[in-house]
Structure 1
Amino acid sequence: MLTTTLSFANLHNHGELFANMLRARRELFIVHNKWDLPEALGMEYDQYDTPASRWVVVHDDNGRVMAGNRLTPTTAKCGIYSYMIRDAQRGLLDTIPANLLTDEAPVGDHIWESSRLFVAHDVPSSIRRRVHAQLIAQLGETVRSLNATHCLTLLAATWPRWADRVGVKMRAMGPVMEIDAIDNQVVEMDFSLTKH
């Protein structure tokens, strides 16, 4: 099992991995979960897949994607958009409630947003935990390499059950809310002291 952090600066070094990650996102989010998201050429994407972002990918030697995640700086700006959680709070997204945070969405160099976090639905249950832990470990490494310490993410509200297993301090940043029949919550992940 390999982990790679992709950026627009290094995509050319990793063959089809970026496209495979977007294909895996489509397979899970559009085909399996039936979410209404943009797609083209068999890939899912949105307005946050820009050169400002990074993508953490867990994959095998053949480029088969098992898990992934997108990191976007909370300081990002692209037209009217910034980052997903903040834009939802500002009422720019009709699929995520605006009351998802208790306080105003933070903007700072030390905070990035983690979004589109997934483990592919066809990853065997015998290795799912290990794949998820590998994804979170690489996420922390990448965050620290970007001179950041924290990530905001919108997760299934079951996060307290597995947070300790992956060794990351987490805290709720807003209420539990139902989105697409799943209880979700914005969580802050603290990578300032975490070393994997």
Structure 2
Amino acid sequence: MLHVLNHAGASREAEILRSMFHARKRVFVDLLKWDVPVLGDLYEVDQFDDAHATYVVLTDEDGEHMASARLLPTTRTHILDGLFPDLCEGDIPRGPQIREITRFCLDRRLVARQRRAVRNQLVTALAEIALGQGITTYTGVADIGWCQQILAMGWRCTPLGLPHLDGRKMIAALAIHIDDETPKRLQDAGVYAMPTVVRDVSLPGDLSHA
């Protein structure tokens, strides 16, 4: 089930967000050893998890987190301009039609087959949300391995600068361009897989809303 949420939601949505923040802690802190804030030893929450953030969350039928991503507006401080501005050789992309994708998270409890299927659904949802809401560009910061995976998914991408060494890994900034051909590119790469149940999402096309 696909949800698009913010911090102003009802109690059911708050439960989904708590499940997401807990999953982020298990992935980014426990597994990947990121040096990021942890709330109450349970939830990974940083300074960008505020009223301006939008969360794209996939859950199972019980509302448990399966995958998620955070979208940040680029018209205010976000990760690229606030933490990694040196990754851009030119101007940092900003504007009302540009969002930054952060915290792309696949739940650790998923087995390999589930991870691929859920990843494809989340990628597809991000593309369709962009088309439905007039978003023309996603920006992001990722390590080189993840950048290569993004390219393999069929996105049309532009590097924003040369990779930099961050600790023990190379990271880079990139722009993902969204247009009417994006869904076909994802289909050609074998990635397009729209979730069957959608809640509170602005999407084009003929979709069944629960």
Specify the TM-score bucket, using the shorter chain as the normaliser: 0.7 to 0.9
Q: CA RMSD in A?
A: 2.1
Structure 2: give runs of 5+ residues left out of the alignment: 184-191, 193-210
Q: Could you tell me the TM-score, scaled by structure 2's length?
A: 0.77
Q: Which residue identity is paired with 1:46?
A: D
- Structure 1 residues 25, 11: CA separation in 2 closer, same or farther (over 3 Å shift)? farther
Superposition deviation, residue 133 in structure 1: 1.4
Name the residue aligned to 2:112. 125
Name the CA distance, whole Å, in 2 between partners of 1:191 and 1:65.
Answer: 26
Structure having the higher helix fraction is 2
1:116 equivalent among 84, 88, 103: 103
Give me the whole-angstrom Cα distance separating, in 2, the residues matched to 1:126 and 1:132.
10
Q: Is the 8 A contact 1:68 1:119 kept in 2?
A: yes
Could you tell me the TM-score, scaled by structure 1's length?
0.82
What CA distance in whole angstroms lies between the structure 2 residues aligned with 1:28 and 1:188?
A: 24
Report if aligned partners of 2:7, 2:14 keep a CA contact under 8 Å in 1.
Answer: no
Aligned pairs for 1:47-196 (under 5 A) are 47-76=47-76, 82-89=77-84, 98-159=85-146, 161-163=148-150, 166-193=153-180, 194-195=182-183
Give 1:13 shift: 4.6
For 1:68, what is the secondary structure of its paired residue?
strand
Aligned-pair identity in percent equals 24
Distance 1:11 1:188, change over 3 A: farther
Distance in 2, matches of 1:105 and 1:139, equals: 21
Flag the 1:112–1:158 CA change in 2: closer, same or farther, 3 A. same
Q: Which moved more, 1:123-132 or 1:158-167?
A: 158-167
